[in-house]
Structure 1
Amino acid sequence: MNAPATRFFGALEPIRFQGTDATDPLSYRWYDKNRVVAGRTMAEHLRFAVCYWHSFCWPGGDPFGGETFLRPWMHGVDPMEMAKAKADVAFDLFRLLDVPFFTFHDVDAAPEGANLAEQAKNVAAICDVFEKKIEETGVKLLWGTANLFSHRRYMAGAATNPDPEVFAYAAGQVRIALEATKRLGGANYVLWGGREGYETLLNTDMKRELDQFGRFLAMVAEHKHKIGFDGPLLIEPKPREPTKHQYDFDVATVYGFLERYDLLADVKVNIEQNHALLAGHSFEHEVMLANALGIFGSIDINRGDALLGWDTDQFAMDVGELTLVFHEILKGGGFTTGGMNFDAKIRRQSIDPADLLHAHVGSIDACARALLNAAAMLEKRTLTAPREARYAGWDGAEGQAILAGKRSLAEVADRATAEGLDPQPRSGRQEFLEGEVMRSL
């Protein structure tokens, strides 16, 4: 703990774009932050953020084994000094990766404390540190959030807990984190319902819990306006893990919840690939649906393991999958306040400091390459033209009249009968389109 924390990665210069012929593994081959693509620079499109929790708080353990990383800032006597040392390492990583944003949970950044008053004091102290580092580096806060799932008190949920005192404690924790996010100039605030669900229906009153969850989010929205926080609130859909069933199961479920509790004006979604798979969807499905419903906000960029049924949070490297995701993001207009948060962790055997750099560099390049592919596909109308052709009939006079409510069921049926309609199916051309996407990579 006595050595300067910034020596953790060695005396390195920031990683730079060197082109596709580069041989240095710590260089960007595809991510040229100043390159203009579809009217914006890559940095403006991608809005990368490094997360605090997996990168600096996870010790490398799993259910069958403990710590493997042995990070120096995880071992010490004074929790606040360790938090400051961790901040030094974190902002050094942000500097080396040359990314514009970071994200954090309250207890990632500052010691939790024995009670809310102590936690507020600790978060305020670490905000003092963050403010100086933000000013020095120019790295900004994409979003903050509160950890309402790790502590023993939250074993039965936070907002959905059967004990209103746990609900009240969670409210206090969120107020601290939301106000810290505003203080640091955060662009969004995330509400991740890590245990807002149930393990068994035998002891669960689902209506009560849903009403509690809806009221909790409404209270957060009310406080957001009270303190003048301009960014949106974001919910991160997740179907399972740690509970059997989460109330924020997927984008469609969250939309229905927001509609029921009148929260659509203040809340959007933060989508994660690994969670999409656990819900039985593809990543691009969740992004397309969020755009269609008008609640797309931000994404956590990671991947799951197709052979494992849990949240492995690996760094995203699949350019093909990412190309389809960026196609939908660009088609929807791109990010506004949101961005791409690396909610990903290196494997527990990746114990060298450089492994953390290589993971981010590889994933950043994969995203940049996918962005270029997606922009080219949109320019060539690789998928948009066939989609428009497939639905062209709905753009005609009758199709538009039906959708506008100008035709009754009887009127539509009468026309079909009078005109002797005999519509014939047309090919969906799936294999052709798959080939077109493959040739675009």
Structure 2
Amino acid sequence: MEDQERFVPQPEDRFTFGLWTVGNRGRDPFGDAVRPTIAPTTIVRELSRLGAYGVTLHDNDLVPIDATPAERDRIVREFKAALDDHHLAVPMVTVNLFYDPVFKDGALTSAAPAVRRFAVDKAKRAMDLGHELGATIFVLWGGREGAEVDAAKDPRDALRWYRESLNELTDHIIRNGYPMRIALEPKPNEPRSDIYLPTVGSMLAFIQTLDHAERVGVNPEVAHAKMAGLNPVHEVAQAIDQQKLFHIDLNDQRIARFDQDLRFGSDDLKGTFYLVKLLEDSGYDGPRHFDAHPYRTEDIEGVWQFARGSMRSYLAYREKVRRFHQDGEIQAVLARIQKLHSEGPAIDGEASLNWWRERGYAYEELDQLVTELLLGMR
């Protein structure tokens, strides 16, 4: 029982979910919804009961795109009351620039100035909503920022429009005095044939061209990296190295599949362990945000099992990280490897070259020990 109590989520663990995650109704390209809509205020209540820290949202997850100003104010007022009643925070908001048909050829990279204007203004209103709810992170996923027909749009123009739009959005933050930063979310695949700025590395390079690069970072997602066969741990490490990990989306994914958004840690146990280890060892103090969906097979009760399982899994992996650092045999092997690397001879001739050529690094032994740790053998 004592062991199980370590895996009970608490607000200080900073676990968050999007309204669109637990609220996902199971619709996919080949089948309609299998669950009823869950009201945002109900989601707030249930996540609080499960021990979450906060909830996040796209603008239209909460306020319909066609809501009148009076309807918008009523919805927001009721939502804020639920947040207060259940002691939940809203650390991040984002904007939906991908669903409406107006964005079919891009939002911030649309060749049409009228569409770009509409997209930027919509994003500004989402920022205003986020500030009203207390959010300090604004995530921007460029889901429609891409192309199928390269003859139709010069990618240099698209990047210039992207840059101009982001500069205007950071100006909006600064002009209004919002304590808010922007986190760009890369995704190599879907829904366009080719996506602009598809990886963490390409986003980081682009950020350096912005007027206020210090206000813009990245929001890596596990599934997005794995869809393209990339290593999420390395993607996140690059963001940390550049001090640009402003937010993170946690889920799971099988390599080269469609965007599965599986429950965190449910598929790749070793990869998830190393990701949690990286976050914990680096001192990342932002939200642990679960951007995943319950299986389409589930009813409403299954939705809450999904949310509970996501948080418990993170806590279990975090416990494995603690045991990794305390395991005497693992640490002895690491020390032996590090000593070999640091105390081996300088390369100044054939004899020293051969010394390095003949050495084994004991990585098989280390990897097996980590595997045994994850399998509960240690």
TM-score tier, shorter chain, comes to 0.7 to 0.9
Partner of 1:31 in structure 2? 7
- Change in Cα spacing, 1:264 to 1:389, as seen in structure 2 (3 Å) is farther
What amino acid does structure 2 have at the position aligned with 1:64? F
8 Å CA contact retained: 2:9, 2:51: no
CA drift at 1:140 = 0.3
Partner of 1:113 in structure 2? 66
CA drift at 1:20 = 4.5
The alignment status of 1:429 with 2:342, answered yes or no, reads no
Partner of 1:361 in structure 2? 308
Cα distance in 2 for residues equivalent to 1:123 and 1:440: 51
Partner of 2:277 in structure 1? 327
Listed as ranges, the matches of 1:176-191 within 5 Å are: 176-191=125-140
Cα distance in 2 for residues equivalent to 1:33 and 1:63: 34
- Change in Cα spacing, 1:53 to 1:377, as seen in structure 2 (3 Å) is same
CA drift at 1:33 = 4.4
Taking only aligned residues, the RMSD between alpha carbons, in angstroms, comes to 2.6
8 Å CA contact retained: 2:26, 2:35: yes
The alignment status of 1:92 with 2:45, answered yes or no, reads yes
What amino acid does structure 2 have at the position aligned with 1:328? L
The alignment status of 1:371 with 2:347, answered yes or no, reads no
Partner of 1:51 in structure 2? 18
Q: Write the deviation string for residues 407-437 of structure 1: whole angstroms up to 9, x where unpaired.
A: xxxxxxxxx8xx5575334434332221132
Cα distance in 1 for residues equivalent to 2:128 and 2:155: 31
What amino acid does structure 1 have at the position aligned with 2:213? L
Aligned residue among 242, 253, 263 for 1:293 = 242
8 Å CA contact retained: 2:334, 2:366: no
The alignment status of 1:310 with 2:258, answered yes or no, reads yes
Aligned residue among 29, 36, 40 for 1:70 = 36
The alignment status of 1:348 with 2:301, answered yes or no, reads no
CA drift at 1:255 = 0.8
Q: TM-score, normalised by structure 1?
A: 0.76
Cα distance in 1 for residues equivalent to 2:365 and 2:206: 38
Cα distance in 1 for residues equivalent to 2:137 and 2:93: 7
Query: SS where residue 50 of structure 1 aligns?
Result: strand
Q: Write the deviation string for residues 360-417 of structure 1: whole angstroms up to 9, x where unpaired.
A: 11221111010111133245584975775576489x9x9xxxxxxxxxxxxxxxxx8x
Query: SS where residue 233 of structure 1 aligns?
Result: strand
Percent identity, aligned pairs only, is: 24
> Structure 1: which 5+ runs fail to align?
1-17, 22-28, 35-42, 74-85, 399-415
8 Å CA contact retained: 2:187, 2:224: yes
Say how many residue pairs are matched: 365
> Structure 2: which 5+ runs fail to align?
none
- Greater mean alpha carbon deviation, residues 378-387 or residues 185-194: 378-387
Query: SS where residue 247 of structure 2 aligns?
Result: strand
Partner of 2:373 in structure 1? 440
- Change in Cα spacing, 1:185 to 1:70, as seen in structure 2 (3 Å) is closer
Cα distance in 2 for residues equivalent to 1:124 and 1:428: 62
Q: Write the deviation string for residues 87-110 of structure 1: whole angstroms up to 9, x where unpaired.
A: 232122222212110000011111
Partner of 2:231 in structure 1? 282
